[in-house]
Structure formats: C-alpha cells, structure tokens
Structure 1
Amino acid sequence: MDSGLNAELDLARQRLKLMIDAAGATCGWEWDIPAKRLTADARFAAITNQDPLVLAQGVSTEHFFNAIHPDDLKRVKLAVAGILGGSALFSREYRLLRDDGGFRWVHASGRALYDDNDEPVKFIGMLVDITEQKRTQERLRIAQVAGGIGTFEYVSGYGTINVSEQFCRLFGLHPAKVLPVRTLNLLIHPDDNPIINLQNPNGFQDESNAEFRITRPDDGAERWLARRGEYVDDIEAEGRRYIGVIFDVTDAKRTQQRLREANQALAERARESIQERNRVWQNSRDLLVVIGTDGVFRDVNPAWSTILGTEPQAVIGSRVLDAVWPEDRDQIRALLKDVIENLHSDLEIRLTHRDGTPRTISWTTSHEGDVVYAYGRDVTIEKEQRAALQETEAQLRQAQKMEAVGQLTGGIAHDFNNMLTGVIGALSVIRRRIAAGRLDELDKFIDAATSSAERAAALTHRLLAFSRRQSLDRQSLDVKQLVSSMEDLFRRTLGEQVELMINIAADTWKAVTDPNQLESAILNLVINARDAMPEGGKLTIETTNAALGEADLAQKESLQPGNYVVIAVSDTGIGMSQATIDKAFDPFFTTKPIGQGTGLGLSMIYGFAQQSGGHVRIYSETGLGTTVKLYLPGSHEDVAAAILDEDPVYVPPRGEGEKVLVVEDDASVRMLVVDVLKDLGYQVIEAVDSNQAIPLLEGKERIDLMISDVGLPGLNGRQLAEIALSNRPKLKVLFITGYAATAASRGDFLAPGMEMITKPFAIDDLAQKVREILTGQAEA
C-alpha cells in the first residue's frame, strides 16, 4: 500500500473519530407503555422524517415502527418485546426509511422504568444517526482489502468534487484535492454515463453504482472504472452530498468479456450440437426412441418408418409392448421393467413390422430422469445369416464326420481283407488237403489261419480302445515293475541300432489302470519311436509323478486336477510338424507307407488313456525327435501287481459234470462254447436270449454257472444276471463281451461272484476261467 493510500486511510480515520465525538447530538424519546403513546424531540422527528409538532404532542407507538426498514423490523420488535417483557436495557442498530427511497443508519439505546409492582411503565431512550460512521467504516474496509480505491465527495449544485490521491492516479491525473467535473467527464467514453451529470440537479440521477471506460491522459490506456457510493443528507444545512469510491475493474471486465465470448462459443457449439443431433435423429438408419417410465413411446425417429413400416406419429403415444412380437410379449414385459429400473441395458427384442412379419432389433438403452433413451439396430438379416451359417457348419461337421467314418471303414476293410484272406485261404487249403488225404504240413496252414485271426482280434481291440468301448480291468498297478518286466521285449523289438535307456523314478506311484492295455500302449509307443529312427538313435522310457492343478491343464483337455503317473517315451528321430501332431490321434492317420501301419496305434492309446481317466500329450519338432507322455490316475495303495513275464501254458481243465447255462444270440459263438464245454465234461443248457433264459432260471433245474453275452437283444446280460441272482443268490456268472459301453470298467460293472472274458478268446482261456469260477479260485 503506497503513501498516498496511507494518507487517505488516515483521513478516513479522522472523519470517523469526528463523527463519533459528535455523537452527543442525539435525540430522545419517551414511550408510555400503559397508554401506548410515544413522544420525541425535534431531532428525533428529523431523523425519522416525521412532523416534530405531532411527535411532541404524542403519537401511537406504531409510529416507532413505521419508519424502520422491513429487513430490520422483526429483530427490533423482538428487542422491544423484551423490554415490555421485563428486560432492563435496549440497544440496536437498524435502518430508517426515507421518503425518496433511501435510508439512514441509526443506533437506538434505552431502558425501562418500573412501578412499585415491578411492572414496566415507561420506555425511554435516545437515537443517534450513525450513517456517516457506517459509510466510513465500509470505505475503510474496502480500502484495507482492495488497496486500489480512490475516494471522492460531491456536493449538489457545485462543479467540482473533492478527491483523494488514489482517485487521481486511477484517472491518470496529477494528484489534486479538487477537480473540475467537466474535466473528468471528458475522459469518460462517450457511450458511457458521466461520473457526475451536471445537467441534473442531483448530479447522479439517483444512481448509486456505475461503470464506465476512460482514456488515461498519461499513457493513453483505456481502463474500466467502477463507482460506488450513496447520498448523505445534510441535516444542519440544506443540500445533499454524495460520498463515493472509485476503483479499477478492467481485469474483471476483460474476464467478463472472455466469459461472454466463451458463453457465445458454447452457445454456438450447443446450437451446432442440437443441429447435429437433429441431423442424426432425422438421418439415422437405426432406431432412436425415447420411452417414458410408463412404457409409452415419447418420441421415435423417422427410421421407424423405414425399418418397421409405420410412420413415427402413429407410434408416439402407444405402448412399447404393443409393438413387440405377440409371442414374445410375456417375456419382454419383465425385461422392459428391468430396462426402466436400471441405468443401462442391452437386449434383443422382436418387433412387429407393418406387413405382419417379425424384425429382430438389438437395443442399447440408458436411463435419465423419467425417460429411457434407446438405440436400436435391425439385426434380422444378421440373425438369419448366423442361423444359416450354423446350419452350414453343422452340415460341414456332418460331412467331415462321414468322411472320417468312410476313412475308418475303408481302413478297417483293407486290414480285415488281408487278415480274412489269411484265414479263409488257409482253411480252404486245409479242406482240400484233407479231402485229398494229404495230412502232412497241415500245421503250417493252421498256424497261418490262427495268426491272421489273432491280428484281426488285435485290430478289434484297437478299435474298441479308440472308441473307448473296451472293457478295462482297472486295478492298482506297479508301473515300475511293469516297465522293468518289459525291458527284454523292448530290446528285441528295437534291434541293435537303437539305444534303450530306462529311467524309473524310485518314488513312482502306482497307477489305476488295466495292465494288459497299458502293456499294449507302451509297446505301441516304443514301436512308433523305433520306426521314427530308421537310421538308429536313442529311445528313453521314463516314469515320474505329476500333481496337476487348474493352471497346469490346457483348455481342450479332459484332464481333471489331481495326481497322475506319467510314462514318457522319447526318441531322437525325425520328429513331427504341428500339422502332424494335430492329426496324430485321428483314426487310420499314419505317415507310414501303405501296408506298413494301420494308423490305429496312437488313436488306441488316446482312447485307452481317456477311458482310464487320463490323457496323452505329444511334444515334438521336425528333426528334433518326439516325446509322448501318457498320464494315468495315480494310486497310493500298496497293492502288488500281478504281472507275469510269460503266460503259463495250461492244460485245459475238465469239468466234473457241472451244469452250465449258455446265453448267446450269435449261433456260431454259442455252438463253439457249447461244444467246448461238452468236450470238457460239463452239462450244457442253451438259450438264445433273456426271454428263453428267464424261465430256466426261475425253474427248479440245477444250474451251477451262467455264461452270458453282455450285449443281448432285449434285456442285456447284466440285467439278466440281476434276475438270475434274485432267484439263485449263489449262482456264478461269467460274462462274454466284445463291445459293451456299460462294461467299460470291470470294477464298476461286476458284482461279487461275477467274472468277464473278452471276445475273441482262446478255448484254453475259456476252459481255465470256467474252472476257476466253479472252484472259487477266481476273484471278482
């Protein structure tokens, strides 16, 4: 704050002190409370703008309140009521209205006088005009806060005004105490009002506030100045004074101008947005609608006519449900309620076209206030195309399936023709030689027929393994012992060019699986590895444990989290491309030349692993070898595995006249089984199916054993066994199966007293199994 402003503040403080000292020029009143009359002196009358003679004679107390400013009246009345109610003192500042609409500030103080009964009888006080004091305080406050304010004082009828130094600085003039009004008005912009209008007797035309532009003579700059002030009545002498302040508002004006420009720009953008919205609304090819929370259309865009064939005016005011396809209305009623209650929603609704056909509309909605805004896109054609694509894909999958079936049957036909040629040709030669009496060298042809038949049986087992329809004899198996027992077989199979390494982890768990099928699977992997190393190489067989969690499982695998025994067969051969890996488990897919492989090896292993609750994974790169990992469910049971290095040679055991019921729908198989059992000394009863067998089982005739095919027409073998055991609880049962989906796991299929043998089977194996069951040596 500069020295000029400090001097101005000092002057204001001096004026305030003088007015406070002059407060002795007070006026008084006396209020007769019981009579409700007020008397006051002439000064009171002048301040309150009333007739002094009337006040001297006494007036109604309402005159006390008539001149009080409405905003102050309530609190003054409350204070007076306090006096009348017993308060001792009264002290309030308030405003008094003038006839010209102005007001003056006064301070009223008084007290009550009481009678002998302590009842208030008089209310006396004095009134002090504090208008100038209030204004000076306000100027001080403004000057102290703003620091850039000039003060001035003008007396009506004169051509000069008293000014402060800061006032001169704001106008760009040399400091002076008195300035001509005309000089100041010349500095003001002609389009703005003068600081003082000398043509008007009051000068300011009763304006208390004004803003105007000036051109400063010292630097030529244009600035905005603001004037604030009020008229002050001079009670001692005639005339009026105007006391005011002036300050620079250029920055505020510029800010206002920028704000106006910004508002104009915003308004222009708003107008453009509205125009753009209207263009979008009018030209959109998609549906735009406004819906009330009552489910009634408030507005729809012209696209409704294009998409649904009805003019918008005919839709506005109708219910949304009326436009919905009739079959969907019950379902959409609940969805529409959700749309109205929720902030956002996406859904598809079928609407009715004017021609009576449905149109599927995909909607996106938003909720604001009591309306819902919805954007709808016609997806009818997309839905139809999607349905057509799905149908085409289904047809393609069916065609691929039929192609795979054709490939499967073609491969089976090729291999079976080779095998049947060996069987039929050998039997034909045997028949001709027996007819000719040439019985020498018959064993050679018998061996050839037997070999071809065994190859056919092995192919059938592979097909069943691939289709996961073979019967598995699951048990807790010592994998370490099984792999070790097969080492000699591996070495004979691999030959001298392939180095064999077997790494068996000492802590390898037992696996829950079928021993015979696992042997076949490992042997197939070893043979494939050998064939992948035509120039020789190294083959490694390893066993490990794996505890798999969710993160270890691939997306398309059927594995479940758990413990698994892993058997890995690795080679250093030619490897596989990713395309080959993707097809490796397909039936009859092989990279070997025609006649050197059936293409069922890996598919059989895959089917066996899946049926066992495990999986197979292949890791390979072209030229870098292959690793195939077989995952089987792990078991911690300490069960010894019954694995023999070589099958013992049995002499077919004979029966002791036991009676056996044979139920088999295939005549050739039934004849073979019946003749063999009779040759072995058993009594045999035949039945073609369950309908023939049930009366025999319900009869009184002795039956020691029932041999039944699982896949019988009508009631299957397992259902027949349940009926048989209900009548004969101690009856032994031997199932014969070649294909049985329900007998995939023997442990789940067989009950105590039941056994199973898989087709095709050797006669010696059948004889041995029958003897074991009848003597109680077999385990279910």
Structure 2
Amino acid sequence: MADNADGPRIEELHADLNAAQRRLQLVLDAAGATCGWEWDISKKRFVADALFAGITNQDPVELADGVSPDRFFVSIHPEDLKRVKIAVAGIIAGSEVFSREYRLLRADGGYRWVRASGRAIRDAEGEPAKFVGSLIDITEQKRVDEQLRIAQSAGGIGTFEYIVGYGTISVSEQLCRLFGLHPNKMLPVRTLNGLIHPDDKPVIDLTRPDELQSEGNIEFRIRRASDGQERWLARRGEYVDDIHTDGRRYVGVIFDITEAKHTQESLREANDMLAELARESLRERDRVWKNSRDLLVVIDTAGVFRDVSPSWFDILGHAPDKVTGSKVIDAVWPEDRDQAKSDLRKAAENIHTEIEVRMTHEDGSPRTISWMTSREDDRVYAYGRDVTVEQQQKVALEETEAQLRQAQKMEAVGQLTGGIAHDFNNMLTGVIGALSIIKRRIAARRTEDLDKFIDAATSSAHRAASLTHRLLAFSRRQSLDRQSVDVKQLVTSMEELFQRTLGEQIELAINVAAETWKAETDANQLESAILNLVINARDAMPNGGQLTIETNNVAFTEADLAKGETLEPGSYVVIAVSDTGTGMSQATIAKAFDPFFTTKPIGQGTGLGLSMIYGFAQQSGGHARIYSQLGMGTTIKLYIPASHATGEQSAFEKEEEAILPRGKGETILVVEDDDSVRMLVVDTLKELGYRVLEAIDGAQALPFIEGKGRIDLLVSDVGLPGLNGRQLAEIAIAARPALNVLFITGYAAAAAARAEFLAPGMEMITKPFAIDDLAQKVTEMLKPSNPR
C-alpha cells in the first residue's frame, strides 16, 4: 500500500511547487523583469533582458542592444546543447511551440536547471519571423524531485495502519526512522503524537478518531527522538473497510517534506522581495515620468498621444491633459509634417527611429526636438530632447566658419596677387627697360649691341609667359593636349637631362616597370612636371644623396578610396619621384601645393613648381600626393589616368615634321579683339605670302563668312566678346563645311581639355606663342592632306 501512496504524493509535491513557480513568474512579469528573449529570425538579431543575461552569465548591456543569435546557446551544458539546437532549428523551420528543460553552467563550475518556453511569430506570408520566449529556474524543483526519487527508491516513505478504537498503530520501519525511533511493528499512538509540535495536528487524534477522514491530508512538525532535529512531515491516507470485522481501518503514509517546506519559504520570501521590487519599479517610473526635464510620451499606432509627461508644459507650453488624446501630427511644425508622417509610420512598424522635427510651441514659435522611439505591443514610446539652442549654436558656428573660410580665402588671394605682382614687376622691368633703351638708341642711330637688349626683353617675356603658364596649370585652366603617352619611353628619354640637372653628387636610379600602362595626358606638361619634381628633389639634397624615379600601375575601387578623396575609381599610371633629402614637416606638407609657398630663400624660388604640378595632375583627372618625414626624405607621386587607346601612335612617339614652304596666296580670316596680337598675326601671315582678312569680333567676321569670297582657314581667339571663338567656328563650319579652324587661346575654361573642346578639322595654339610656331601650325593646316 505504501507503493500505491507514493505516486499521488509525488504528483502533489510537483503541483505545489509548480503553483509557487507560477506565482513567482507573475510577480516577475508585474515588475517588468521577465526573464525573456526575442530572436528576430530575418535580421539575425537576438535581444534579451537583464535576468536572461544574469542566468546565462552574459553582459546585460550587450544583450539589450542586440547580438548574434549564437548568444542564445551560451552556457548550455555540452550534454544538452545538441537537443536544444535541434529544438530551436524546428522553430526556425516552422514549428510553433518550443519547450525544453536543460542545464546551464554556472561560473563556479556547477550547473542549474531551467525550463525554456517559447513560440514562433509568423509574418504575413506565414513564415517564422520572430522567436520569443522566457526562461525559469527549476533547479529547486529538480532537487526535490531527486530527493523524492531517492526517498522512494530507498523506502523513504513510511506507512501505517490504524484500527479505530485502538490505542496502537501498525507502522513500517521507515516510519520509525522518520520519527527517530527504533524500528518496531507496533507503536502507541501517543508515542508518535508526543513527538509532534504542540501547535500542529497529531498523526491520529484519539479524541476525535472519526474526524480523520474530514481532516484529509495534514502537515506537521516533529522533533526526532534520536537527535532532536526538527523536521516537517506530511500524512496522506484514507479509510478502508476491514474485511475481517465490521470495523474500519485508516491506511496512510508519512513522508518527509522538510526541503519542500524550505523551498516554499524561499519562494515566499522571493515573492515578497520581488513584489517590493515591482512596487519600487513603479514608484521609480513615476518619479522619472514626473521629474524628467525631457519629453516622455506614449503614442498609439494611429498616431494619437495617449500620455505625455509634465515636462511638455515646460518645453512646449501646452498642458499635458490638453495634449493627451490629440493627434501627433497636429503638434508638428507645418513645414515638417510630411517628414513626420513618414517617421510615424516607421515607428508604428516597430522600427527604432532617431529623428529631429520641429514642434509648435504655445507661443507659435518652433522648437526643434530630437526624438528616439521604440514600439511595444500597440504603443510607441518616445523620448524627446529640446535641441533648439544647440541648432542655433550650430548655425552660428557654421556662419562663423564660413566667415573664417572667406577670410582665409582673401588672405590666399592677397598672397597670390602679391606674388604675381612681385614676379611680373621684375619681368616687366626687363621688357620695358630693354625696349626703352632700344628705342632711345635707335633714335640716336646707335644700333650696335642691340641684340643683348633684345635678348634681355625676350628672356623676361618668356619668364612672364612661364609664370602665366604655371598659374594656369595651378588653376587648371591651361589648355591640355591630351593624348596617349608612353610613360616608360618618356621617362627613360629624359635620363640624360636628369643627369645634367642633378650633377655629380646625386645618384640617379630609374626603375620603370615593364608593364607600365600608357597615360592619357599632355606629354609636354608631363615632362615639365617630372622635371620640376627632379629639380625640387635635387634642391632638397644639398649634400648629395639618391634620387629614384619609379613607375607602376594601380587600380582603385570605391572601397579603396577614402571619404572626400578627389580621385575617382579607375586605373592610373603612378610616377613616383623619391629623394633622401631633408624631408618635410606636416605643416610644410599641408602648404606645399599652395601657390607662391616656398621654403627657399628669397630670390631662389617662386613657389609655383609644386602648385603647377598639382594643378596639372588634377586637370588631367588624376592627383598628386606627398609622403615625407623630416630627415627621412620625400616621395611625391603623380597619379595620371591610364590610356584606353590601343594601336595608335602616342604623342611622345610622333616625330616632328619639317616646316613646309611659304603660302601661295591662300586666304585666311583672322578674328582677334586684341589690337597688338591681331597686328602681329596679320603681318606674320602676310609676310608668309597669305591673303589676310581681319576682324575684331564675331560680328565683324560674319559678313566674310557668309559672303562668297574665298576663305581657306579661320584663325580665331577663343575668348572673343559677344560670340566666342567656338560659337563663331560652328557658324563658319555650317556655312563652309570644308573650312579648318585654328584657335588662339590664353585663358579659356571651356578650352581646358583640347580633346573635349576641339572637333575634327580644329587645332589650337596657346598664347604667348612664337611667330615661327604660328607659321608652322598654319602651314600644316593648309596642307592638301588636311582640308575638311
């Protein structure tokens, strides 16, 4: 009969413990401390609360922010891990319910038992979208179950029979052990009752034997006879009819429930403690809500305020009770409402949003509020901070920065104009002075030794032209004749020039990679840039050293280029000039490409060399970079776009052709608004045997173009008043399709890239130009093979 009674008792213990655990869970939920998780399957993001973090030995902040789903399995006992993963895989594959008991490893090396319960939340297509659930610690329950199992297997449940009307009771040996008595088969009822706590009910109340049935199951404390230890015991049983007599017998079991009682006490204390925590949490929430200096609001998914904190009045001037129940969009500044509607939709879709929107103050002015939102169930919780003053300060700072940039810009312009004025005054002094002396000597009929003054004027004029050329290069307004250039051949062909420039103290090394691509650039400008770099490197090594020129290829993708980088993704030829000289500080590197910035003594450098190189590289579609440290030398790299042309002769490979004979009476129309330039061009062409028509601008040129007279070539300035040179050329070609056009340009932004500016049958020559160069260009364009 003892065996028959064991089962109900165990089930009842389970039921009691489960009921206590359910009460604990309710308290936890009320306090907002549910030990739970949310697993976003599509985004592969796992979020859990602080209790989950604590029970699994993880960082609560990381779990609250969201981590990889692998963190769900942290601390699971290795022997249980596989079956838990299989169960989770079932949820992801489509199962709806998840329920597992498994062990979690503790930090001290032991483990605890937990029960995990969860379910899948499906999307509109019926696919699992989220996996949510909670954990509960069942370690104590497992321990009680184990104790009961051991007690049952070891005979830990005592049995007895009591015949109504007698003063003795039949007992089992295990029952005697529970009371701390020597094993007997029969004991006086008073002996057992004497060991029971006076405030508790006896095993059998001899004064009311018929009430055993009505009393049902009882629990009582005893003090064991053998060691005086206090224990909790429980009695369970029922009346049965005696088959031998007409009397009745009460058959029952007694078992130890001390540990279960302790567990219940612990749970009660935990219940009390958590209930207090819940109450304190609510009090804390109320304090935060009432005392917050920022806006706290609750909105439903329809965009209606359900509650707002008292700070609304302090920040926006509206009474909270008047705001509650109104639409959010009505509180938004009218100009921001379209954007606010979109943000509200995102917030209602459970998307965490961070937005800045202007809200309308009671006085009619706007206030900029920075909001953060989070949705739970059918409510959106938002936290707003007034950043109006910060925005005003930001605008003021931007205005101040703009004024500072303008001041710096004007300072740079002042430096630039001062440098130009200084250098041009020196050059113009040489030209004007030499011409003045020549004029005075011719008037005095002293023509001997005029060549040196003519040479001096010519030299100064060339220097002025070079200065203008460098300024145009820096401003990226020079006219580039972009063609496919063989960089390998260009660099190696300049080796002798480099050697003469460097002298004997500097060792030159040229490392040209065999696979170096061709570059799309102006060959003459590239030569000038490389030579300038070589001269700079030489000057940085006053005591000698080594200069290295290298070429290689590089291809950049979007990922390779830093934010704000001027280079575009693509293929480039890299030309690097390195020296072992004095090097540069970071402050010098920052200004190295500025016009007229130089570290050389006055009179030994214009400060336009590197600025010209930088402008040329930028205008070519490339870039220039400096790598240097003080005392460690310098490397300057030019990045020039690679040429995609195949099978054509490069600009460097073209051989100069001989100047053709003089003209044979061909008619040339010259359009130039500068009187001096027009006079020189017209006189030169006439001396070469051409018939010349001249015009100041497009308006004067149109009658010639539209007339029936012969015109073999149009020579026009690009920057004409009214119709510019390119527009005039379009009209001329429309009227005379076979007409060739030679442009003259000094500065023209539209003509900066010849390949983009010139159409077939057009050529360009840059001011200032030598008369011989003009004559050769005209002769080439009038060759029989060149007509359109």
TM-score by length of 2: 0.77
Q: Which amino acid aligns with 2:456?
A: A
Q: CA deviation at 1:425?
A: 1.1
Equivalent of 1:520 in 519, 525, 528:
528
CA separation of 1:748 and 1:284: change in aligned 2, threshold 3 A: same
Q: Hey, what does 1:565 align to over in structure 2? A: 573
The structure 1 residue matched to 2:481, chosen from 458, 465, 473, is 473
Q: Match for residue 335 of structure 1?
A: 343
Q: Which residue of 1 aligns with 2:48?
A: none
Partner of 1:292 in structure 2? Answer: 300
* 2:477 is aligned with 1:502: no
Partner Cα distance (2:314, 2:4) in 1: 82
1:756 is aligned, of 764, 770, 773, to 764
Corresponding residue for residue 77 of structure 2: none
Match of 1:394 in 2: 402
Q: 2: distance between equivalents of 1:614 and 1:480?
A: 18
Q: Equivalences for 1:2-21 in 2 at 5 Å?
A: none
**Correspondent of 1:587 among 577, 591, 595:** 595
Partner in structure 2 of residue 322 of structure 1: 330
Q: Residue 425 of structure 1 is aligned with which of 427, 433, 441?
A: 433
Residue 385 of structure 2 corresponds to residue 373 of structure 1: no
Which region of structure 1 is more displaced relative to structure 2, 625-634 or 349-358? Answer: 625-634
Partner amino acid, structure 1, of 2:372: T
Task: For residue 558 of structure 1, give the secondary structure of its aligned residue in structure 2.
Answer: coil
Mapped pair 1:768 → 2:772: no
Give the corresponding residue for 2:264.
Answer: 256
For 1:566 and 1:370, how far apart are their aligned partners in 2?
A: 61
Aligned to 1:358: 366
Q: Structure 2: how far apart are the matches of 1:776 and 1:757? A: 21
When residues 739 and 372 of structure 1 are mapped into structure 2, their CA distance, relative to the original with a 3 A threshold, is same
Counterpart contact for 1:565–1:632, Cα < 8 Å? yes
Q: What SS does the aligned partner of 1:407 have?
A: helix
- Shift in CA distance, 688/253, structure 1 to aligned 2, threshold 3 Å: same
Q: What amino acid does structure 2 have at the position aligned with 1:756?
A: M
Match status 1:344 vs 2:358: no
Paired residue for 1:455?
463
Instruction: Look up the SS of the partner of 2:214 in the other structure.
Output: coil
Question: SS where residue 382 of structure 1 aligns?
Answer: helix
Distance in 1, matches of 2:385 and 2:623, equals 46
Q: Do structure 1's residue 731 and structure 2's residue 734 form an aligned pair?
A: no
User: Does the C-alpha gap of structure 1 residues 504 and 9 become closer, same or farther in structure 2, counting only changes over 3 Å?
Assistant: closer
CA RMSD in angstroms, aligned pairs only: 2.9
Secondary structure in 2 aligned to 1:595?
coil
2 CA distance for matches of 1:758 and 1:646?
Answer: 20
CA displacement, residues 316-345 of structure 1 (integer Å, 9 cap, x when unaligned): 222212221222223322321221122422
Q: How far off its partner does 1:449 sit?
A: 0.8
Q: In structure 2, which of residues 207, 213, 216 is the aligned counterpart of residue 208 of structure 1?
A: 216
Note the 1:127-142 alignment, pairs <5 A: none
Spell out, residue by residue over 1:707-743, the C-alpha distance to the aligned partner (whole angstroms, 9 max, x if none): 1111223332122211111110001100011112222
Deviation (angstroms), 1:638: 4.6
Distance 2:404 2:787 in 1: 49
User: What is the CA distance between 1:622 and its match in structure 2?
Assistant: 1.6
Contact 1:661 1:706 survives alignment (8 Å): yes
Q: Secondary structure at the match of 1:363?
A: strand
Find the aligned partners of 2:318 and 2:571 in 1 and give their Cα distance: 66
Q: Partner amino acid for 1:517?
A: Q
Q: Which amino acid aligns with 1:637?
A: T
Q: Is the 8 A contact 2:484 2:651 kept in 1?
A: no
1:245 aligns with 2:253: yes
Of 271-280 and 154-163, more deviation after overlay is shown by 154-163
| 1:184 partner letter | L
> What is the identity percentage for the equivalent residue pairs of Structure 1 and Structure 2?
74
Amino acid corresponding to residue 300 of structure 1 in structure 2: V
Distance 1:670 1:253 in 2: 116
Take 1:489 and 1:625, find their aligned partners in 2: how far apart are those partners? 22
Displacement of 1:554 in angstroms is 5.0
CA distance in structure 1 between the aligned counterparts of 2:415 and 2:339, rounded to whole angstroms: 48
CA drift at 1:176: 2.7
Residue type at the aligned position of 1:676: T
Match in the other structure for 1:671: 679
Given the superposition, is the C-alpha separation of residues 141 and 712 from structure 1 closer, same or farther in structure 2, using an over 3 Å criterion? closer
Change beyond 3 A, Cα 1:328–1:640: closer
Report the equivalent of 2:201.
193
| Larger displacement relative to structure 2 (238-247 or 367-376) | 238-247
Structure (1 or 2) with the larger CA radius of gyration? 1
**Alpha-carbon deviations, 1:522-565, whole Å to 9, x = none?**
11112111211222333333333445555654555433444433
Quote the offset at 1:509 in angstroms: 3.3
Does the alignment pair 1:627 with 2:646? no
Match of 1:707 among 704, 715, 738: 715
* 2:730 alignment counterpart: 722
2:274 maps to 266
Query: Which residue is 1:530 aligned to?
Result: 538
Residue of structure 2 in register with 1:117 after alignment? none
TM superposition shift of 1:419: 0.8
1:693 is aligned to 701
In structure 1, the partner of 2:132 is none
Which residue identity is paired with 2:680? L
Counterpart-to-counterpart distance in 2, 1:9 and 1:777: 121
Matches within 5 A, 1:275-290: 275-290=283-298
Give the number of equivalent residue pairs.
646
The amino acid of 1:449's aligned partner reads A
How many angstroms apart in 2 are the aligned matches of 1:725 and 1:504?
Answer: 45
Q: Secondary structure at the match of 1:206?
A: helix
Residues 177, 343 of structure 1: alpha-carbon distance in 2 compared, 3 angstrom cutoff: farther
Q: Mean Cα displacement is larger for which, 516-525 or 688-697?
A: 688-697
| Alpha-carbon separation, structure 2, partners of 1:547 and 1:211 | 86
Instruction: Tell me: CA distance 1:529–1:776, structure 2 relative to 1, closer, same or farther (3 Å).
Output: farther
1:540 corresponds to which of 508, 527, 548: 548
Aligned with residue 740 of structure 1, among 728, 748, 751: 748
User: Whole-Å Cα distance in 1 between the matches of residues 674 and 4 of structure 2?
Assistant: 131
- How big is each residue's C-alpha offset from its partner over 1:456-513, in whole Å with a ceiling of 9 and x where there is no partner? 1111111111111111111222333323333333233223433333344444433222
Aligned-partner residue type, residue 195 of structure 2? L
Q: 1:506 to 1:350 in 2, by over 3 A?
A: closer
- Structure 2 vs 1, CA of residues 501 and 324 (structure 1 numbering), >3 Å: closer, same or farther? closer
> In the superposition, relative to structure 1, how do residues 317 and 543 fare at CA in structure 2: closer, same or farther (>3 Å)?
closer
How far off its partner does 1:653 sit? Answer: 5.3
Unaligned runs of 5+ in 1: 13-139
Aligned in 2, Cα 1:10/1:274: closer, same or farther, shift over 3 Å? closer
Give, in whole Å, the separation in 2 of the partners of 1:746 and 1:211.
106
Whether the aligned pair in 1 keeps the contact of 2:669 and 2:693 (CA below 8 Å) is: yes
1:602 and 2:610 matched: yes
Map 1:174-189; keep pairs closer than 5 Å: 174-189=182-197
Aligned to 2:240, which of 232, 243, 256? 232
Is the 8 Å Cα contact of residues 508 and 565 (structure 1) preserved in structure 2? yes
Assess if the C-alpha contact under 8 Å between 1:142 and 1:149 holds in 2: no
C-alpha distance in 1 between matches for 2:784 and 2:666: 14
1:403 correspondence with 2:411: yes
Structure 2: distance between partners of 1:226 and 1:275 = 42
Contact (CA 8 Å) 1:478, 1:640: kept in 2 or not?
no
- Aligned partner letter, 2:161: E
Q: Give 1:144 shift.
A: 5.3
- The SS at the match of 2:200 is coil
SS at match of 2:215: coil
Offset at 1:648?
9.3
Query: How far apart, CA to CA, are the structure 2 residues paired with 1:508 and 1:776?
Result: 38
Could you say which residue in structure 2 is the equivalent of 1:58? Answer: none
Letter aligned with residue 578 of structure 1: Q
